[in-house]
């Protein structure tokens, strides 16, 4: 019985971390696009951002449903629902893009801060990196709330690129250190 449960947790952990790595790659690509061409139309940026938010929200909801006792994903249902709602709003209300990106970064920053505290509880040494990333996201979220959309797109591009890189590194470190799950 215990072996079956451990097998399910191992499978879920592997799926979630692989999805996170793929998501990080998408963030890197979209971040580069936003940074290189921040003046593309608000419609295109809103569509890309909305779709990314909905996908990210879906991943968060999936990771909550499939968490199988992994404390790291306890609040993902809340973040997932918020991200899906924000993504839908971004798709339909393009003129408030910078406000919605600000909210997205605030939610992501809070989520990363929560992850950092959980990682610290498990004595994972990368908790400080995740906490710094969360604080940066909160600051960027507040800044995005008070900027115009072209500037917000460029800032968003830098943040997405940085987030993608840092998240990929963090997930690879987590997978490396979780040898128990990856035998």
The pLDDT confidence band at residue 2, using thresholds 50, 70 and 90, is low
Range of the domain at 65: 2-177
Phi/psi region, residue 69 (left: phi>0; alpha: psi -120 to 50; beta: rest), is left
- Position 57 scores a pLDDT of 85
Overall domain count for the chain: 1
Q: What is the pLDDT of residue 60?
A: 80
C-alpha 60/C-alpha 81 separation (Å) is 8
Whole-prediction pTM value?
0.61
Would residue 183 count as lying in a domain?
A: no
38 lies in some domain: yes
Q: What is the pLDDT of residues 14-59, one digit of tens each?
A: 777 888 888 888 888 888 887 888 777 667 777 887 888 888 888 8
Six token digits for residue 174: 């987590």
Is 182 part of a structural domain of the chain? no
């Amino acid at each position: 019985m215990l072996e079956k449960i451990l097998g399910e947790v191992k499978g879920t952990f592997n799926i979630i971390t692989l999805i996170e790595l793929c998501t990080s790659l998408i963030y890197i690509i979209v971040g580069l696009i936003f940074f290189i061409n921040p003046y593309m139309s608000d419609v295109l940026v809103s569509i890309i951002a909305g779709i990314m938010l909905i996908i990210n929200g879906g991943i968060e909801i999936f990771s909550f449903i499939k968490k199988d006792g992994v404390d790291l994903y306890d609040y993902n249902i809340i973040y997932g629902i918020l991200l899906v709602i924000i993504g839908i709003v971004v798709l339909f209300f393009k003129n408030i893009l910078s406000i919605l990106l600000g909210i997205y970064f605030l939610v992501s920053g809070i989520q990363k801060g929560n992850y950092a505290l959980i990682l610290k509880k498990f004595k994972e040494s990368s908790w400080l990196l995740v906490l710094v990333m969360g604080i940066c996201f909160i600051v960027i979220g507040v800044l995005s709330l008070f900027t115009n959309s072209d500037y917000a797109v460029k800032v968003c591009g830098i943040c997405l690129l940085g987030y993608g890189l840092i998240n990929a590194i963090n997930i690879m470190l987590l997978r490396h250190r979780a040898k128990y799950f990856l035998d």
